[in-house]
Structure 1
Amino acid sequence: MRNFSEFQLEATKQFAHTLIVVDDEAAADLDEPVKSAAKIKKPSRRDLAKPVAVTPSKSTDLKHPLRADVLVETSMSLGLICSVVKPKPNDGAPERVAKASQKADILCVDWEMHRDNGKTAVDIITRVIASDEANGGRFRLIAIYTGVADKVRILNSVLKSIPKTTRDRKCLAIRENYIESADGLRIVWLFKQGGTFPANMAEFAIPESALPSRLQKEFSLLSRGVLTNVAIATIASIRAATHHVISKFGKEMDGPYFQHRSTIRSPEDAEEYATAIILSELKNAIDRSSIAAKFAGAEALDKALDDLPADVELGDGNNFSTIDRSLYKKLIIDGIKPTLKTNQPLQNKGAKFFTEHLAQPLRADEDGRKLDLLKFAALTGLSADAEAPYAYHKPSLSLGTLVQDASGNYYLCVQASCDSVRVIAPQPFLFAKLEVVPEESISSHKDKIEFVVPRKNKGIGKSFVCLKLSDKAPYAALISIVFPPTEDEKVVAKKARDGTLYFEAATLPIGKRAEKHKRYLWIADVKRKRALRTVQFIGQEMGRIGFDEFEAFRRKYR
């Protein structure tokens, strides 16, 4: 039976394809082969402080040589494309490497290059992290593969070079031989063969022939959860299917697409259709790979929960229960209701108890647990939000756009999609006013939450706002706001000096109703199907049949 780390490694091997290695002492060949790292016996406590010598090749004057040919060949055997960069002094390598690293899965740098005491390495690392930050963050493994044994000094130098705001936001911290983060960054120190180092560092001494597989293992440690593995394997599956999918959409498919576009009521809708059919083909490729069953199925879940204690505690105060870990696994894998049917003691607690407390063992901190739930709701409900805005274009006002006025009120655009394009004059847009769900109602599940959106937070961390439609007739809270066209016959968001995006309402002529607010901040775009469901619900509420009738019969026959 596999353990969870094997699921992590399998997903990583499918995903991580590219490796960049930067080393000023890289060589395609040396006068004689560099000896493999000496096998070191497990030291006794008395020997831990004693240095262990590993003799480097005497046939070269390189201080910490790197066998590039061995590294490349070993990488290829594992399915990794390895590029070795040998920088010259002041040749602009940090900038080039940072740019190339945007496309690479793993980055590996030497520490001491041209005797600069880590300056080039730090320059590369900080540039790469800054680039990742500018693009919204990403999974990133950076390895420092060096013959300098002072790992504490090296890791401290790297950590201090990262801006404090980034360190705080990512919760960066130094562990045994690596810097870990809360959101997908791992910087690991590994020792080159050759040189002298304490025996308790032997596990970090890696020859070139073992470096690629070790980097795969280090990358897999970024994946801490079931959904992370699913995400990694899914993207890997898409990569593998890319050329096959592209081959299906040759030039001969343009004719049918043109016919489709020219015959529908709103030709612009065909633009979405073009991406939709391609995404559908990619989805078919993912389904054929059985990603969900492999990485989110019963076996993967079972292994993911092995780290829990044998007795799992749920609830608090008087409403408390301790159950066996195997039963807890069963609740998650088989579902709450089926498990309760076959277990009388669990039935006594009831389904509501387990629904409210099931995530507790995975995240003991109650506030953190609530934040996780809200993050998940926002992730599954929004296509884009102001905390992670569009990278290449501004949002346009259409069905599913969430905005906020200067008074703090939230509105959802429910305008038909075809009426959001070819806007050539100031046009009214229809909005449903939303209400903020009180904090106490979120915990008690009293209100049905329609949307969860990020709230601007001046401090570190993230908070969310839960929104719902009006408890009374939601159609009664519909309002119309007039907006002028801005770009390409659409209403496109403008950018304020502070970087926020907003839609500017039209200035109406004297005698017509003036708008109370001029600027409506763009908060998020709701996923299309959720927006359509909201519009459908409002329409159903408007279509309810109500009329006066004989009260006695109405009561009797209802």
Structure 2
Amino acid sequence: MNSQLQVAPQNFFDESRLIAERFIQTVVAVDDNISFGELSSSVMNSDLQVQLPDEDGGLGASNIIDDELSLDAPDLNSDLNYQELSACFANKSILCSALKVYEGDTGEQQTIDATFNISKKADITILDWQMECDRSNYGNIAKGAIKKLLQYDVDGNGRLRLILIYTSESIPTVLRALKSHLTEFQAKIENGKEIQFACENLSLCKVVVINKQTTIESLVDRSIEEFTHMTCGLLSNATLAAITEIRDKTHHHLYKFNKKLDAAYISHVLGLISSPAMRENAHEVAFDYGIDLLAEEIKSDLQISSQVKKSLSKDVLQKWPDFITEQNPQADFIFKIGNCPEVSVTLDRMKRILSVTETEEFERILEEEPQFPASEPLSISKTFSNKHIQFMFDDNSLNQHLELSAIQCTRRNMRTLGENYKPTLKQGAIIKRQGKNEYYVCIQPLCDSVRLTCSTNFTFLKISKVSNTKPMTHVIHGVEVAYLAFDVDPKSKNIYMAQFLPDPAEKMVKAELCNEKYIFKSGNEVFEWCGEFKQPIFQGIVNDVSASLARVGFDSFEWLRLRKS
């Protein structure tokens, strides 16, 4: 473990940086001049003075004032010392790969293709801006590689991506060149140093431009710092820590689930095949068993991981408000309790709320001015605990709450489907009757959704689509709109039946692709597939419906019935 990890973090950003540094595994550097060997200390420690050119200067304009360069200062177009770059990253347990520009007539395109292939799965990509032989073509390789990477990310429904460009050109000039080349991705210049994208699938991608006088050590630190800025958040930190934990335990899991277990797994498959009721679906059931087995082992590791626990610890939560205030001094910490008026709290009060453990102390904090609301006949603390709490510190609060709700509820939707996946009508599927604003969730038992040979009745629960500001019970990601919010009432009066024909080969009801939508046909009725709830979510709905059906209703002596209350 490198020595930096031993330093106790002083604030939320430092906590986030340690998590990011542990997560980052691969960095790719592309340059036309790559060398091996150590640089002299005078070169590494020299202070290089660079004068930025006029913003209207061309891409090939010189940025260096010769009189300001010492004899020991490195030329900005000199070699990239791969030995030192990889050693600096190695000190942080990060693997750095380098690619040198191809030569010849097809060299530029070869370099673009190679950069794309090596960077697809990299955590950070570092590109030189001036890699072409012709000064008038500076930036062609970087722009071509970036464009190809962005299209790959859009096609893959988005991912986190950081690209650093280091250059001796004027930073504004490079930013303008990038923006004009990446208009199809809705590129925009932010903070005078980077390109961000309005395109939804690229919301967690950015291109940062830095001056080439940066030393190797500062280049490495800057890359980690910029990565941290992209991931610095509570759940994002927890996600990085969890993935790091899984990576660290990979060989342990391979040791546990070794090839010696093959005979036992085949025995499980044979047991399923031997059952007439399971025979046709034995391989799918065995697959689900294997995945559940692996998932539970990983879940168990994450639940006891000290690093994952630390990412969401009480200490970290207390540091978070300070970080928000540092990022935006005008930010307000606002609570909305149910439908009561909003309450704005100070930084100190916010931190005390997040760390409180004693009931009396908690009540005192709520009663401070401005007081939290109380709904008659409830006290302030009872109102706080009985009503939904919507915390916010920016204008996108509702969307953030809807997004987390959708993540909790949604298993699959049109955004996340793979090219070769056709939705199946089964328990948890959400469908919409075309031509009407009617939505249904399938509650058909899973065993009654397979091995079908003829038209089959499917059972649904009609669910009400509501606006994002109305009471809701479930949220999923939409296509035409960002989110679909539902109020699910499990009463038997909302049960709906419809007949569907199964696919003869699959013996299941499979969706058809029509006008970029997946549909199911029931006679003359057409239903559009909207997504699927996660297993615990739809199982909860099924249980509620079952409980509603199990109710016993009978007439009784009212005096005696009411005595119970």
Evaluate the alpha carbon distance shift between residue 35 and residue 482 of structure 1 in structure 2; reply closer, same or farther with a 3 A threshold: same
Q: Which region of structure 1 is more displaced relative to structure 2, 127-136 or 206-215?
A: 206-215
Corresponding residue for residue 466 of structure 2: 437
Structure-to-structure mapping, 1:300-315, within 5 angstroms: 300-306=316-322, 307-308=324-325, 314=334
CA-CA distance at 1:429 after TM superposition? 2.0
Q: Tell me the SS of whatever aligns to 1:35.
A: helix
Corresponding residue for residue 59 of structure 2: none
Structure-to-structure mapping, 1:70-149, within 5 angstroms: 70-89=84-103, 90-91=106-107, 92-114=110-132, 115=134, 116-146=137-167, 148-149=168-169
Q: Distance in 2 between matches of 1:24 and 1:53?
A: 25
Mapped contact 1:405–1:517 kept (Cα < 8 A): yes
Matched, 1:299 2:315: yes
Evaluate the alpha carbon distance shift between residue 539 and residue 191 of structure 1 in structure 2; reply closer, same or farther with a 3 A threshold: same
Q: Distance in 1 between matches of 2:331 and 2:260?
A: 62
Evaluate the alpha carbon distance shift between residue 525 and residue 338 of structure 1 in structure 2; reply closer, same or farther with a 3 A threshold: farther
Structure-to-structure mapping, 1:324-339, within 5 angstroms: 324-334=346-356
Corresponding residue for residue 468 of structure 1: 487
Q: Which region of structure 1 is more displaced relative to structure 2, 523-532 or 311-320?
A: 311-320
Q: Distance in 2 between matches of 1:221 and 1:210?
A: 16
Corresponding residue for residue 376 of structure 1: 404
Evaluate the alpha carbon distance shift between residue 488 and residue 99 of structure 1 in structure 2; reply closer, same or farther with a 3 A threshold: farther
Aligned with residue 451 of structure 1, among 471, 474, 494 = 474
- Show CA shifts across 1:202-224 (max 9, x none): xxxx1224322321121111113
CA-CA distance at 1:338 after TM superposition? 6.9
Q: Distance in 1 between matches of 2:404 and 2:557?
A: 49
Corresponding residue for residue 58 of structure 2: none
Structure-to-structure mapping, 1:171-320, within 5 angstroms: 172-181=188-197, 183-193=203-213, 206-263=214-271, 266=278, 267=282, 268-306=284-322, 307-308=324-325, 314=334, 319=341
Q: Distance in 2 between matches of 1:292 and 1:31?
A: 39
Q: Tell me the SS of whatever aligns to 2:231.
A: coil
Corresponding residue for residue 156 of structure 1: 176
Corresponding residue for residue 403 of structure 1: 431
Q: Tell me the SS of whatever aligns to 1:222.
A: helix
Q: Distance in 2 between matches of 1:243 and 1:110?
A: 36
Aligned with residue 538 of structure 2, among 509, 528, 531 = 531
Evaluate the alpha carbon distance shift between residue 56 and residue 67 of structure 1 in structure 2; reply closer, same or farther with a 3 A threshold: farther
Q: Distance in 2 between matches of 1:404 and 1:55?
A: 71
- In the comparison of the two structures, how many residue pairs are matched? 509
Mapped contact 1:330–1:339 kept (Cα < 8 A): no
Evaluate the alpha carbon distance shift between residue 325 and residue 175 of structure 1 in structure 2; reply closer, same or farther with a 3 A threshold: closer
CA-CA distance at 1:405 after TM superposition? 1.6
Mapped contact 1:27–1:65 kept (Cα < 8 A): yes
CA-CA distance at 1:26 after TM superposition? 1.4
- Show CA shifts across 1:365-417 (max 9, x none): 2xx22121111110111111123323552322211111112123111111111
CA-CA distance at 1:277 after TM superposition? 0.8
- Show CA shifts across 1:172-212 (max 9, x none): 4322322245721121112223xxxxxxxxxxxx1224322
Corresponding residue for residue 446 of structure 2: 417
Q: Distance in 1 between matches of 2:518 and 2:357?
A: 43
Q: Distance in 2 between matches of 1:476 and 1:433?
A: 5
- Show CA shifts across 1:440-478 (max 9, x none): 5x2xxxx4x332123333xxxx5322112347x345432
Mapped contact 1:451–1:466 kept (Cα < 8 A): yes
Aligned partner of 1:134: which letter?
A: D
Q: Tell me the SS of whatever aligns to 2:230.
A: coil
CA-CA distance at 1:29 after TM superposition? 4.2
Q: Distance in 2 between matches of 1:149 and 1:111?
A: 8
Matched, 1:12 2:20: yes
Structure-to-structure mapping, 1:349-364, within 5 angstroms: 349=373, 350-351=380-381, 352=383, 359-360=391-392, 362-363=393-394
- Show CA shifts across 1:111-155 (max 9, x none): 111232111110001111111111111111100022x23110111
Higher RCO structure, 1 or 2 (CA under 8 Å, sep 6+): 1
Mapped contact 2:238–2:311 kept (Cα < 8 A): yes
Q: Tell me the SS of whatever aligns to 1:243.
A: helix
Evaluate the alpha carbon distance shift between residue 486 and residue 287 of structure 1 in structure 2; reply closer, same or farther with a 3 A threshold: same
Q: Distance in 2 between matches of 1:463 and 1:426?
A: 35
How high is the TM-score relative to the length of structure 2? 0.81
Aligned partner of 1:425: which letter?
A: C
Q: Tell me the SS of whatever aligns to 1:425.
A: coil
Q: Tell me the SS of whatever aligns to 1:503.
A: strand
Q: Distance in 1 between matches of 2:334 and 2:174?
A: 43
Mapped contact 1:384–1:390 kept (Cα < 8 A): no
Q: Distance in 2 between matches of 1:59 and 1:332?
A: 51
Q: Distance in 2 between matches of 1:100 and 1:311?
A: 41
Mapped contact 2:196–2:206 kept (Cα < 8 A): yes
- Show CA shifts across 1:5-38 (max 9, x none): 1111111111111011111111224997881252
Evaluate the alpha carbon distance shift between residue 163 and residue 272 of structure 1 in structure 2; reply closer, same or farther with a 3 A threshold: farther
Aligned partner of 1:502: which letter?
A: I
Aligned partner of 1:248: which letter?
A: K
Aligned with residue 498 of structure 2, among 480, 483, 494 = 480
CA-CA distance at 1:88 after TM superposition? 1.6
Aligned with residue 367 of structure 2, among 339, 345, 357 = 345
- Of all paired residues, the percent bearing the same amino acid is 21
How high is the TM-score relative to the length of structure 1? 0.82
- Show CA shifts across 1:24-55 (max 9, x none): 11122499788125237999xxxxx9968345
Mapped contact 2:465–2:486 kept (Cα < 8 A): yes
Q: Distance in 1 between matches of 2:305 and 2:444?
A: 39
Mapped contact 2:44–2:215 kept (Cα < 8 A): yes
CA-CA distance at 1:357 after TM superposition? 6.3
Q: Distance in 1 between matches of 2:407 and 2:215?
A: 42
